[in-house]
Amino acid sequence: MEKATFGAGCFWGVEAAFRHVDGVADTVVGYLGGSTERPTYDDVCSDGTGHAEVVEVTFDPAKVSFAQLLDVFWQIHDPTTPGRQGPDVGSQYRSAIFTHSDEQEATARASLATAQASGRFSRLIVTEISPAATFWRAEDYHQRYLERRGMASCHI
CA dihedral 130, 132, 134, 135 (to 10 degrees): 110
Q: Which residues does 149 contact at the CB level (< 8 Å), separation at least 6?
A: none
Please give the positions annotated as active site: 10
Contacts of 46 (CB under 8 A, 6+ apart): none
Kind of pairing between the strands at 95-99 and 128-131: parallel
- Count other C-beta atoms under 10 Å from residue 122's C-beta: 6
